[in-house]
Structure 1
């Protein structure tokens, strides 16, 4: 899976990879030639007392060394560039894929896990790619060339190579076999630790107010201890590799010098050949060490590749239909919104969240949805922009089935105020322009006035140029909610969706906001989900949900008279004397 991922990513970088291979072959050829030239200097120059041969061979060695150094530098540079490009490409693919995932897939993977996969896991793949490009051709060619040239120098001493290579391969196998599950477990533990840390940072005030610092400290300490233990085990295995290799290297060097010395003494081998043989033995061992280092990092990279592929290969539950009509001119979606026998159930769930919901929302009208907690109100609203897809029935806008529309076209026709008021890092003006980047300042102020937010924005030292903290943490809940409403108004879409968007407002502000919205929204289709009856009393049509079913619909007065469920909700919120 790891190499399949790398192969796919490298398809865009074929020429640089070929250049890296060629440069590494030149570099390796130079490394392999140097001991042979050195042996010739010793045997044909120094031992024979031939000074001209020494200078000639020395010049050859300097040229080869220079070429080898230039090739090594160029290969290293190209390898780093390609590895960084792969990391950039992989991060971009992960970001794009995560943007396409529906809320179901995001919940299944977990937010923290997706963050870790897009950052840490991608970094691990990138680091592995650097090693691969550094040793892509050098290690195997150096090992094969070293064995061949060592055999050429002396066949008898080559028997030592036959002994040490299987021994080193056995060491590699035993270490890598133990590292694979440890690295896979380590990435999951990293997810867990990051998740706990994120929860503690976001919920810091909740932890303090319930005096749970000790419990949370112990919870984090447990996850941290597990992660540290896992890292310690893998680090010990990695640390054990070098001493084991050095033992084999040193023993093989002693064996070469011992047996080679006897062969030189008996005249069966020249001194230069012995020095060359020792150099080739070192090169063979170096190549094997390089391969071992790659193989040690490969398990972690393989675990990361497995996690990345799990995201990249996920088919989003919500996606553009293959037969979606992609036209240059997007269709006008300013007609009625119609739900026809719409049902929804989460995959694997035994019961439906929504069942057989049917209603019509015409342009210029407001449809409100009320119901007890868990009745499916927000889920119903999520079906329209296809944050979730209905499992049965049909939803149309202006006579067009929403499944036949490209997602961008569909969502561009809507302006949504989410249940959780989320603002982006940047200025208030930048947040207001999210849906309409070209909006003028006067347009922004008009939206703020309608959303009852202009007064507090004017009181800020920098007005709309005030920086918003991450998630809008430097603003109150009501201020965030009103800016989100203003942001939706700036977009000027034919359909507006308000998902419990007035819950953080006091009754006076809510009343003024509803009055101003009635004028500002004009002929748009407005669908409002609310908990408070006061927020929906003026709607043209109110839908009452109970356990995912539409149990009643009508105006506020009609439902008070004929719907026990609606009356029960109203009585729990309004004073009885205000009811007829």
Structure 2
């Protein structure tokens, strides 16, 4: 599980073993010393011996406590370090995975795997460093020392231990399948809960609150019932342990009493033997409890490994742009007969896309819903790689470029305006980490966001909730556009990011943007004719295919699809 030797520090492992040995050694000596007090002190009336032995017992008890505290500290610290490492590995993996791989797992499941599953693995790591090593050492030591007290009496363990093992096996065999189901049911519960949170307004709008509550209640009830079954079975461990231990002690006392009566065994040895038998059986119980946790942790480990073993379909190239190269060449963006299929799709999302743009030019992509507009934006950003054909940035195939290098040169505004919790300033610095206040205000001015930000009491320090939910859709879009503008890239990609703006704001923003982006390529994905009509090149898509290319004036003359879109957005006579 996670290649234990690579995850656990060997210093922590050896330190844990050392303190476990010290703790076990001290604990195993206590029953023997109790036996000596009874046999050599109480039986003979030697008060001095009782005090001396009692003082040594207190010293050993102190050593046991100190060793246990240090051992627990080491195991807790190491297990938390392992959890920290695994969560970091999952997060970094997800950050670099291609979109199709992330979607194959799902957001709800990824959250569960990085929290609940990691906690399960952490717990087993801690148990491994403590109980998994402590229990066998204690059990073996107790068995050997009980044999030294009375070899004949030790035969009782040949009966009690197999009985205990058999009963534990029955319990584990029943509980383990239920524990394996817990993680899957946790996924389901998180999925429904997350859908309810993110879609709460839609749920209320369609009066589906009762339906969603029932759906969640069903999943919650299923999760609870599975846990109740598992815990009910596991609750039998303590009664069974008590039953076997009590039966063993009764047998030891009965048989040991006869040995004492005939003089074959001192009373102190019987007391020590009872203590050792309790230690032996308790060790088996600890091991059984750990073993019941291992299957659940194995399921969690497999789910985590599934994420860690995913390979992104987007692989970095070796080429890096250098500053001299960028200064000597103006920005260029070209699609060379690009076709892209989604995984397992029967037909391409976009087919044979071909165009070329230079710095200072604006490319607009327009088409109906599902025509592949956003896919072209994703191909530019290299969120997807073309199935055939190539995308070129400054004359270089993007597949040969480092992804970081590509995205350093491109500013992207997605369809869904996404802001991060913090302040307006922190969101602007997301685009350029060393941006000055003047640069931020200039970007806000171009994005037509300056007026409403100035109207806020705290200005740039105004709080932004997760997702920017404390702003309207249009305000969020303008802040996202400002975040892209402040980056001052070679290529701007606006993926339907003007849709929440009114026509006046849309026009003002595009006019201000044109002056700002004279040395850059601007790619606008849109559905409104008014947004794209000033572009140098308009690409018209229909079902993933290019059905028209040209300026607004040329397309309205002879492109049927473009005319249909325009006529659907303007009243008769307005399009003239």
Query: Do the two structures share a fold, i.e. TM-score over 0.5?
Result: yes
Q: Does 1:475 align with 2:471?
A: yes
Structure 1 residues 121 and 334 mapped into 2: Cα distance closer, same or farther (>3 Å)?
A: farther
Q: Does 1:60 align with 2:56?
A: yes
Selected match of 2:427 from 425, 431, 438: 431
Selected match of 1:574 from 566, 570, 573: 570
Q: Does 1:303 align with 2:299?
A: yes
Q: Distance in 1 between matches of 2:546 and 2:209?
A: 44
Aligned residue in 1 for 2:21: 25
Q: Does 1:351 align with 2:344?
A: no
Q: Distance in 1 between matches of 2:168 and 2:184?
A: 25
Aligned residue in 2 for 1:36: 32
SS in 2 for 1:416: strand
Cα offsets for 1:116-173 (capped at 9, x unmatched): 1111211222222222222142111011111111112112221211222222222332
Cα offsets for 1:159-215 (capped at 9, x unmatched): 211222222222332222233322222111112112212222222222222211211
Aligned residue in 1 for 2:6: 8
Aligned residue in 1 for 2:358: 362
SS in 2 for 1:487: helix
Selected match of 2:155 from 132, 155, 159: 159
- Structure 2: gaps spanning 5 or more residues: none
Selected match of 2:133 from 134, 137, 146: 137
| More divergent stretch after superposition (528-537 vs 560-569) | 560-569
CA shift for structure 1 position 563: 1.6
Q: Does 1:420 align with 2:416?
A: yes
User: Contact between 2:132 and 2:290, CA under 8 Å: does it hold in 1?
Assistant: no
CA shift for structure 1 position 462: 1.3
Selected match of 2:88 from 62, 78, 92: 92
Alignment of 1:175-574 (within 5 A): 175-321=171-317, 324-325=318-319, 332=326, 334-574=330-570
Q: Distance in 2 between matches of 1:316 and 1:183?
A: 31
CA shift for structure 1 position 261: 0.9
SS in 2 for 1:552: strand
Q: Distance in 1 between matches of 2:68 and 2:330?
A: 64
Q: Distance in 2 between matches of 1:184 and 1:497?
A: 46
User: Contact between 2:321 and 2:405, CA under 8 Å: does it hold in 1?
Assistant: no
SS in 1 for 2:248: helix
Q: Distance in 1 between matches of 2:369 and 2:322?
A: 43
Residues matched between the structures, number? 574
CA shift for structure 1 position 517: 0.8
Q: Distance in 1 between matches of 2:391 and 2:321?
A: 21
Structure 1 residues 185 and 354 mapped into 2: Cα distance closer, same or farther (>3 Å)?
A: same
SS in 2 for 1:80: helix
Q: Distance in 1 between matches of 2:321 and 2:358?
A: 26
CA shift for structure 1 position 18: 0.8
Aligned residue in 2 for 1:81: 77
- Structure 1: gaps spanning 5 or more residues: none
User: Contact between 1:542 and 1:554, CA under 8 Å: does it hold in 2?
Assistant: yes
SS in 2 for 1:387: coil
The alignment's TM-score, normalised by the length of structure 1, stands at 0.95
CA shift for structure 1 position 331: 5.9
Q: Distance in 2 between matches of 1:168 and 1:414?
A: 67
Q: Distance in 1 between matches of 2:167 and 2:399?
A: 57
CA shift for structure 1 position 328: 8.2
| More divergent stretch after superposition (390-399 vs 488-497) | 390-399
CA shift for structure 1 position 86: 1.5
Q: Distance in 2 between matches of 1:261 and 1:495?
A: 92
Q: Distance in 1 between matches of 2:450 and 2:165?
A: 72
Q: Distance in 2 between matches of 1:573 and 1:113?
A: 41
Q: Distance in 1 between matches of 2:60 and 2:433?
A: 60
Q: Distance in 2 between matches of 1:258 and 1:266?
A: 13
| More divergent stretch after superposition (67-76 vs 522-531) | 67-76
Aligned residue in 1 for 2:109: 113
CA shift for structure 1 position 427: 0.9
Cα offsets for 1:459-494 (capped at 9, x unmatched): 111112111111111111001001110110011111
SS in 2 for 1:577: coil
SS in 1 for 2:136: helix
- For the aligned residues, what is the CA RMSD? 1.8
Q: Distance in 2 between matches of 1:267 and 1:101?
A: 76
SS in 1 for 2:365: strand
User: Contact between 2:367 and 2:373, CA under 8 Å: does it hold in 1?
Assistant: yes
Cα offsets for 1:486-530 (capped at 9, x unmatched): 110011111100000110011111111111111111110111110
CA shift for structure 1 position 329: 6.6
CA shift for structure 1 position 222: 0.9
Q: Distance in 2 between matches of 1:470 and 1:579?
A: 41
